[in-house]
Structure 1
Amino acid sequence: MFVSETELLGHGRRRLREHCLRIAAAALRAVDPGELVRRRVVRDGDWLLVGDEKYELTNRRVWVVGAGKATIGMAAVLDELLGDRIADGAVVVKRGQGRQLRFIEVLEASHPVPDEDSLKGGERLLEIVRRASADDLVLALVTGGSSSLAVVPAPGVSLTDKVATNRVLLSSGADIHSMNDVRKHISCIKGGRLGAACGCPIVNLTVSDVVGNHLDYVTDLTVADRSTFADAQAVCDAYSLWEQLPSTVGEWLRRADEAYETAKSLPNVQTLVVADPEMMCAAAAEEARLLGYEARVLTTDLQGEASDAGRWLVRELTASPAPSALIAGGENTVNLNGVRFGEVAGGPNQEAALTAAIEMDGTVRESCILCLDSDGTDGPTSAAGGLVDDLSAASAREREFDLAEALRQHRSADALTALGDLVVTGSTGTNVNDLKIALTSG
């Protein structure tokens, strides 16, 4: 699971580092979407059992659509389970995640910024649901990352405009709810509009990567949405985005055409959340207890600036008895403060880890902190996060590497790579927000 494991365990507090990785591996196994769907979705002859609901398949066409970084495993299970009962299906996954299925087309696109393949993917999903009739059934597999992977821009908004808007939002420091309020209102499929284009019952199978598990931010293509054009405008006001957005996007949001408001009611929708941050954090705490730690889940909705999260974790760990394991889930952000998005080398978890390394410098306790994105990609990088300990800052000084300057330039990946502390997993197949593990043994 950890591609960089040998390097991560080759220095520093080796035992604590090994335990951090074991705890994280157990946590990620507990939120494997494919395995969880296999347990919760069962075919019994001509009936499909989804959680507590039953759907008759006789004389009924089944369509499958989906997009997201945690979608491919669920799609593979449905492909095997339903076989040629699937009339047509397509899912859009992050480039590098694709694999061939027999009855569901797998498309790859870009994340976190959309590309031409994202547009092709969004149009393909829309084409499928428009073919569904009232007696059919749509199975939707929408997970985190869909905002970039499947796009159909609003009239007058180009793909180039969408790309530029995504870059502005990702650089703004806005939380995921605020960013999605804007994204939904420049789209023809987000905010439940893909579901509104479908004239039959919809079953959503998803994993939550949104603090609070709000469905209209988890699987927003196919559930009713609470946000409005006014909310999108408020985000642009709060984060001073108007002058940064493409003119077509700004004009569209200000016009606030009611005909393009997001869907406020979608009947005949069942949603089953098979995994969420609470499950991941509970599994992490259980594994930590098995390893002999006094384990505590601090929160599953840690938000705010990544560096603040790193400092907070060290304070909590310093105040805890040894041996302690502190677990946190949530989603942090980074305000680039004028640094161009294309010049960034790192992500929120890497910045949180690097900040923690600075804060742990000179402590008398043996401590270790792991910060990683559960999907395996932290920010616009191929790394999952960082693993640091109370010796990391001293190691940086020996190498004459300025950790504080790396943070100021938002190039945490450079620093973590130099220290041998960059965590690389590859795609994990799941996506339930960030996981932070803090251990102390004395």
Structure 2
Amino acid sequence: MALDDATARRALRRLFDAAVASADPRVVLARHLPEKPSGRVLVLGAGKSAAVMAAAVEAAWPDVPLSGLVVTRYGHGYPTQRIEVAESSHPVPDEAGAVAARRMLDLAAAAGPGDLVLFLVSGGGSSLTTLPAPGLALADLIAVNKALLASGATIHEMNCIRRHLSAFSGGRLAAAAHPARVVTLAISDVPGDDPTVIASGPTVPDPSTFEQARTLVAHYRMALPGAVTAHLADAAEESPKPGDPRLGTPDYRFIATPLTALEAAAEAARGLGLAPIILGDALEGEAREVGTVLAGIALSARQHGHPLPAPCVLLSGGETTVTIRAEKPGRGGRNGECLLGCTLALADAPGVWTLMGDTDGIDGSEENAGAIAAPDTLARARAAGLDARALLAGHDSHRLFSTLGDLVTTGPTLTNVNDFRAILVA
């Protein structure tokens, strides 16, 4: 294919759309359901995809008695008939999420030995079900959440801390449902697809400890409320651990993962005449630094034909982090920051276009999924009076890509397999 600017941009968007479509619960969920039970089915769930996952269960089991409650992010609802949908705040939790989490625990506790509890989980579930452990208040956990988001900690580290401040996560929902059978259907949004990390693992044993949580808080020098510090120090009630008879051997099924999304994008690339390579589905690190590394790989492909000769596309996923260093940070999510770091490292190199975006359609807390950078992005930024390096230092990537008209805006996609990055090398 001829790779002019318009064609390259369309190609990148097709790859992104293919990745998102591969994780649509309306298409992929039904094949992962257990056999139809003879007894009652209680459907619970949390995450940005929880509502559409619930609708997919209803569509697959029209003749099965279903009831239950799922909670999703505001604006991510989807019509259901038998399963109630609640909405709450993400990434900063609110009272609505705490109420939904408490109601789900009460519903689970009423399940009997012949019942099936079907738990639908996807990214964002930790914030959406923020229910404080005894002795803590929601305001305490909101302060913790803000500190976590600004700390630079990985999602694995964040959720280790969250599990030890929660009355819902870290296996506690499954423990409440005992002795009912619990089956979890998951859309993974975390590097490594670790069930203990996805929504902080409400239905699986938690191998981490209070000591580990305290070590992470100290490492990242988080200033937390006194009640939180005291709770972590007391370590009064550990989360359910592996071997806990209430959890047994978890029945945990992935219906979509970052790798399956990247594989779908790779297939779409081949259909466009581009050779794809998947660099990894679990790349982590400081967003701007990951962008710099990816730029180096792209330059190697263009100049030396390694790891692939052009025309090719370099695909990757995972979840980067952003450590807030600016006193008054601007706007932009981790994908925008990673993309701007990559663009600066490419330094006007010809023949390289890049798309980075979050597959849930929301980069951080912005209205866009991500953005596209082209070989002339820095030149156009300079012509518009924008200092790209200053904007990166101020965590203000949104301003640059918005001014240039290069945002990728999808609205809520109703799925979430984490960050998607594609670098097209001509």
TM-score tier after normalising by the smaller chain length: over 0.9
Residues 344/89 of structure 1: CA separation in 2 closer, same or farther (3 Å cut): farther
Give the corresponding residue for 2:210: 229
2: CA distance, partners of 1:316 / 1:102 = 49
- Asked if 1:25 is matched to 2:11, the reply is no
Give the corresponding residue for 1:217: 197
Give the corresponding residue for 2:305: none
Residue range with higher mean Cα deviation, 169-178 or 419-428? 419-428
Residue range with higher mean Cα deviation, 408-417 or 83-92? 83-92
Give the corresponding residue for 2:343: 357
5 Å-filtered alignment, 1:29-428, equals 29-41=21-33, 50=34, 54=35, 56-57=37-38, 60-83=39-62, 85-86=64-65, 88-199=67-178, 200-218=180-198, 220-241=201-222, 244-257=223-236, 259-264=237-242, 265=244, 266-267=247-248, 269-320=250-301, 321-337=309-325, 339=327, 343-363=329-349, 365-428=350-413
Note the alpha carbon deviations across 1:64-85, whole angstroms, 9 max, x for none: 1000012222210112333574
2: CA distance, partners of 1:99 / 1:297 = 32
2: CA distance, partners of 1:20 / 1:80 = 32
**Unmatched runs of 5 consecutive residues or more in structure 1:** 1-11, 42-49
Letter in 1 for 2:181: P
Normalised to the residue count of structure 1, the TM-score between the two structures is 0.90
**Secondary structure at the counterpart of residue 48 of structure 2:** coil
2: CA distance, partners of 1:143 / 1:110 = 15
8 A Cα contact 1:193 1:263, kept in partner:
no
Letter in 1 for 2:382: R
1: CA distance, partners of 2:326 / 2:162 = 22
2: CA distance, partners of 1:213 / 1:69 = 17
Between the aligned residues of both structures, percent identity stands at 37
2: CA distance, partners of 1:100 / 1:24 = 26
Q: How many residue pairs were aligned?
A: 411
8 A Cα contact 1:371 1:385, kept in partner:
yes
**Secondary structure at the counterpart of residue 326 of structure 1:** strand
Give the corresponding residue for 2:304: none
1: CA distance, partners of 2:66 / 2:24 = 26
Once the two structures are TM-superposed, the CA of residue 339 in structure 1 deviates from its matched residue by 3.7
**Unmatched runs of 5 consecutive residues or more in structure 2:** 302-308
Normalised to the residue count of structure 2, the TM-score between the two structures is 0.93
Note the alpha carbon deviations across 1:16-73, whole angstroms, 9 max, x for none: 11110011111111111221012333xxxxxxxx2xxx3531xx21101000012222
Once the two structures are TM-superposed, the CA of residue 362 in structure 1 deviates from its matched residue by 2.9
Letter in 1 for 2:214: Q
Once the two structures are TM-superposed, the CA of residue 407 in structure 1 deviates from its matched residue by 1.0
1: CA distance, partners of 2:280 / 2:238 = 37
Give the corresponding residue for 1:16: 8
Letter in 1 for 2:393: R
8 A Cα contact 1:361 1:394, kept in partner:
no
8 A Cα contact 2:19 2:262, kept in partner:
yes
Letter in 2 for 1:429: L
Residues 358/338 of structure 1: CA separation in 2 closer, same or farther (3 Å cut): closer
Once the two structures are TM-superposed, the CA of residue 261 in structure 1 deviates from its matched residue by 2.9
Residues 101/55 of structure 1: CA separation in 2 closer, same or farther (3 Å cut): closer
Give the corresponding residue for 2:306: none
8 A Cα contact 1:207 1:274, kept in partner:
yes
Residues 84/249 of structure 1: CA separation in 2 closer, same or farther (3 Å cut): farther
Letter in 2 for 1:374: T
8 A Cα contact 1:361 1:391, kept in partner:
no
1: CA distance, partners of 2:262 / 2:410 = 18
8 A Cα contact 1:123 1:151, kept in partner:
no
Residues 118/84 of structure 1: CA separation in 2 closer, same or farther (3 Å cut): farther
8 A Cα contact 2:71 2:87, kept in partner:
yes
Once the two structures are TM-superposed, the CA of residue 401 in structure 1 deviates from its matched residue by 0.7
2: CA distance, partners of 1:397 / 1:256 = 54
Letter in 1 for 2:318: G
